[in-house]
Structure 1
Amino acid sequence: MQVNMREAKNQLSRLVQAALAGEEVVIANNGVPMVRLVKVGAPERRRAPGAWAALPRADADWDAPATNAAIADVLTGGDMS
C-alpha cells in the first residue's frame, strides 16, 4: 500500500498495524515514494545476567606491587630498574 504524507499523518496507527501484519507500507510525498514503513526485527540474542559468574576470581594480591613488577618484566622483556 502507498499513502501520501498527509494520509499517513492522519492514519499512522492503522499503517503501523498493517506493517506489523507484514504488509508493505510506502509513504509518498506528492505521489513520489519517500520511505517504507517496516517492522523492527527482534534482537538477535537476549543478554543473560550472570554470564561471567563462572569465571575464576582474581587473587587477593592481583594489584600488589610485586605482581605489577612481574607483569612489567614480562611485557618489557626484562628488569625495569
Structure 2
Amino acid sequence: MPNAWSNWSGLVQAAPKLIATPADAGELADLVRIAPGPLRVAGAGHSFTPLVKSDGTIVSLEKIEGLVSHDAATSRARLRAGT
C-alpha cells in the first residue's frame, strides 16, 4: 500500500488516498479545503476502534506543536494539538 496507516497493534489498518502532516494552522486549513474525503485526524494510534480509518485523508497534527501561552498566576497553559 503506497499510503498505509495502522494503529499501534496493526489491528486497525487503512489505505487512504492521502496521509498529511500539516506544519501550521494555515496548511491545515488549506488541507481541509482540498483533501479527498472523508478526512480523519489520527492521534497516537492507540485506539482499538476504527475511528481514524478512512479511504480519503488521514491527518496527523504532530507537527503543530508547542506552547501558545501560559499564565503562572492561574496555572493555565494553551498548547497546540501535537504537543
Shared topology, TM-score over 0.5?
no
* TM-score category, normalised to shorter length: under 0.3
Higher-Rg member (1/2):
1
* Greater helix fraction, Structure 1 or Structure 2: 1
TM-score calculated relative to the size of structure 1? 0.23
* Greater strand fraction, Structure 1 or Structure 2: 2
